Chains A and B, each alone.
Chain A
């Protein structure tokens, strides 16, 4: 069984640019969540997608948006990048959207904004 994979592993962008991060969920999982982890801190919930619809959102501005595709893979898009957006972005999948379902995380994309 293939786990959660994220691409790219590292990325450098300039302030004001836009970025797209990608995530392939674990086989059989229809729910994907995205998290932002700043250095030395715990992950912060951005949003969750279930069957291609947003199914919960944390305290992030609208310039953070996402998509989930019919094969349940997902993208995180961030517009108008700011220096504070530099972080590790984690994707997690689960077999359903039930809120006690364990999440399976990928190893993340390290985004640096200069």
Chain B
């Protein structure tokens, strides 16, 4: 089963960019890379997903390595509201989304 590896925690200053890394060396060709975040006392919130090409939306950007063995979630200007646990997930054809422990992002004013 494909798994992901993320740092346990990261810190950022408010209004600065944040790059959240994720390694997924055993990814298969049909696995999508999804990112979700979870704020305290809430369910996870969808952030972005991609397959091979880099993706942008109103929340973030997703940069996917050419060999697809790693990816980076980019928050262009972190705000205090971005403090959350960020999960990098591989989603396979069985619809099994395997969450890891995620990265706890702290944003300092």
* B-binding residues in A (CB < 8 A): 4, 33, 35, 40-45, 48, 55-56, 58, 90, 92, 97, 99-100, 102-108
Given contacts A43-B97, A100-B51, A103-B36, 20 further A-B contacts (CB under 8 A): A4-B43, A42-B85, A42-B99, A42-B101, A44-B99, A45-B95, A45-B98, A48-B95, A56-B95, A56-B96, A99-B94, A100-B32, A100-B34, A100-B49, A102-B46, A102-B49, A103-B97, A104-B46, A106-B43, A107-B41
Instruction: Specify the main secondary structure of chain A where it touches its partner.
Output: loop
Assembly CA distance A43 to B45 (angstroms)? 12
Assembly CA distance A99 to B37 (angstroms)? 19
- Sort chain B's interface into a size bin: 20 to 34
Chain B residues positioned under 8 Å from A102 (CB to CB): 34, 46, 49
Assembly CA distance A62 to B70 (angstroms)? 35
